[in-house]
A and B are shown apart, each in its own frame.
Chain A
Amino acid sequence: MKSLRYFKRRTINNTIFFLSYASAVIGVAILLLILLYTVIKGASAINLDFFIKLPRPTGVPGGGIANALVGTFMVVGIASAIAIPVGVMAGIYLSEFGNNKFAPFIRYLADVLNSIPSIVTGVVAYVFVVLPMHRFSALAGGVALSIMMIPIITRTSEELIRMVPDTIREAALALGTPQWKVIIFIVLRTAAAGIATGVMLAVARVGGETAPLLFTAFNNSFMSVRPDQPISTMTVLIYNYASSPYADWNAMAWGAAFVLIVIVLIANIVSKIFTKTKYAL
C-alpha cells in the first residue's frame, strides 16, 4: 500500500513538472514563431528602395516607407523632447526631495499614468491637441506618446538616481559644494548612463505603439517633416497595409514589421544588459 501511494505522489509530481517544461517550450516556441515569420516574410520585402522611396499605389513595384521612417522618428522625437525633461526632473524630485507626503502621491500617480490603456491616451491627445488645432498633426502624436513615456522615465530615473551611493553626496557636500551642484553635476552625472538606457527603453516601447497615433498623427502618403501636419508612422502604416486586400501592400507591412522588430529588440536587449530594470513596463 505504502509504495502505491508513493508511486501516485511521484507520478503527480512528474506530470506537473513535465507540464511546466512544456509551458516553457510553448512560450519560447511562440516567440520564435513570431520572429521567424516576421524575418521570413519581412526580409523579402526589404531592399534599398524600401528605405529611401515613398509608398506607391498598389500594383506599382518599387515603393518604400521612407516617409513612415522619418515620421516615426519625428513623432518619437517630439515625445522625447517633452517627456525626457519632465521625467528626469520628476525623478530628481522623487529621489532627492521625496522625503515628504507629496512624493508618494506623485509616485502613485505615475503608476496610474503608466497603466492607462494606450488607446485612451490617444483619445486624450485628440481632445488636448487635435480639437484646438482643428487637424491631425505630428505634434498631437508626439503628445500622445509623451503621456506614455513620462511615467516610465520618471520611475527609472528615480530608481537610478537613488542607486547613487550617499557617500558620494556626502563627500561633495562636505567639501562645501551647494546641494544643487551636487545633484546636477555629481549625482545626475553618475546616474546618466543608466538614465539614458531607461530613456532608450521608453523610446522602444512607444516607438512600437499604434493605437495612440491612429487619430492624432493620423497618416500621410507623402514625405512630411512639419509638426503641424498629419504624418505617416511605421506602425500605422503596418496597420493600414495589413488591413488592405492587396498582396503587395501586405508584403510591405511585413517588411516594416521586420524593421520595427529589429529596432525594438535591439533597444530592449541593450538596455537589459545595462540596467536591471525588469518587466517591459
Chain B
Amino acid sequence: MKRRISDRLLKLISISFASIILILIIGIVYELIDGSMLSINRFGWRFLVTSTWDPVKNVFGAMPFIFGTMVSSIIALIIALPISMGIAIFLSELAPQKIRPSVSLMIEMLAAIPSIIYGLWGLFVMAPFLQIHVEPLLGKYLWFLPLFKGAPLGIGMLAGGLILSIMIIPTIASITRDILNTVPTLYKEAGLALGMTRWEVMSKIVFPHARSGVIGAIILGFGRALGETMAITMVIGNAPMISASLFSPSYTLASVIANEFSEAVSQLYISSLIELALLLFIISMIFNALARLLVRREKVLQ
C-alpha cells in the first residue's frame, strides 16, 4: 500500500521533533563531560576523595559535597520512610471513603509546592524552631552521641535532612499508595477469612506482594532528595565541612553549584563546578533507572 506524501511528511516532521529529545540528551552528556575535562585532567580520580575546596588556590575536591548530599538524603529517607508508609497504608486501607480523595489531593499538593517556598519556610519557620526548641533538648539529653554535639544553630545538616524529608514524603507516599492498591482484594479477603488481623494481612500478604514496587518508590524518593537544590541550599548552612554532628553546617553538590556558579571566575573553577554537575547527573540517572525498573514491574507507571 502506497502512503501519501503528506502522510509521510507528517511522520517525518513528528519523528524529527521526537529526535530533538535524543539530540538534547546527547548534547547534555557531551557538554557536561566536555565542560569538566579541564578539572578531570587536572585532578583525576582524586577529585572525588579530596576534601579541599579552595577557589583562591585553585584546588578543588568534591568529597565534602558528596558527603553532604549523601548524608542529608539518608537523614531525609530515615525520617520520610515511616511517615510515607503510614500515609500510604492510611490512603489505601484505613481512610474512610469520604475523606480519602481530599487527603490524597492534599498529599499530592505537597509535591506541587515549589522548592523555593519550602526553603523560605525552612529558613524562617523551621530552622528557628529547631534552634530554640528541638536542638537544645537533643543536646541536653543525648549529649553522649557525637550526632548531637555543638552549638544549636538551627540551620545545618539536621534542618537540611528534615526539609528534604518533607519534600520526598509525597513522592514515596503516593506511589506506594498506588502500588498497594494494585494488590488484588481477593488476597486480602483470603487472609482476613483465615482470621488474620488487618495488620497481619498488610505485613504478610500486601507488602510482600508489592515489595519491588515499594522499594522502587523509596529509591525514587531518595533520588529526588539527592538532586534537590533550593530548599536545602537555604537551610543547610553552606560550609564545605565533614562533621559527625547533625547540628553543624554542611554543603551539597547541588547547593555549591547554585551558590558559586555565577561567581566562578577561573576556567578551572567553572570546570570543577561542571564536574560536580556531571557527578550529580550520573548519581540521579542511576537511582532513577533503578527505581523506574522496580516500579514499572508493578505497572503503575506506564
Contacts and interface: CB of A to CB of B under 8 A. Distances in A.
B237 to A, nearest CB: 13
Interface in A222-249: 235, 238-239, 242-243
Contacts of A28: 103, 106-107
A132 B22 CA distance: 22
B52 interface: no
A89 B19 CA distance: 10
Given A26-B83, A111-B292, A38 B106 contact: no
B110 interface: yes
Contacts of A159: 302
Contact of A243 (B115, B125, B234, B274): B234
Contact of B174 (A106, A151, A218, A279): A279
A110 B18 CA distance: 9
Interface in B154-211: 166, 169-171, 173-175, 178, 197-200, 202
A265 B114 CA distance: 10
B229 A90 contact: no
Contacts of B292: 111
B223 interface: yes
A37 B173 CA distance: 24
Interface string B85-103: 1110111011100000001
Contact of B94 (A17, A31, A124): A17
Interface size range on B against A: 35 or more
B43 interface: no
B166 A30 contact: yes
B143 interface: no
Interface in A96-139: 96-97, 102-103, 105-106, 109-113, 115-120, 122-124, 126-128, 136
A204 interface: yes
Nearest to A180: B10
B111 interface: yes
Given A17-B94, A243-B234, A280 B6 contact: no
Q: Which 10 A-B pairs have the closest CB atoms?
A: A23-B86, A117-B227, A208-B114, A89-B17, A93-B14, A115-B288, A211-B229, A215-B262, A13-B197, A13-B199
28 contacts: A13-B200, A23-B84, A27-B83, A27-B87, A27-B169, A28-B107, A31-B106, A31-B113, A34-B113, A37-B124, A89-B13, A93-B14, A112-B285, A117-B228, A118-B227, A119-B280, A120-B281, A123-B273, A124-B27, A124-B277, A154-B18, A179-B10, A214-B261, A257-B116, A257-B117, A257-B120, A264-B114, A265-B112
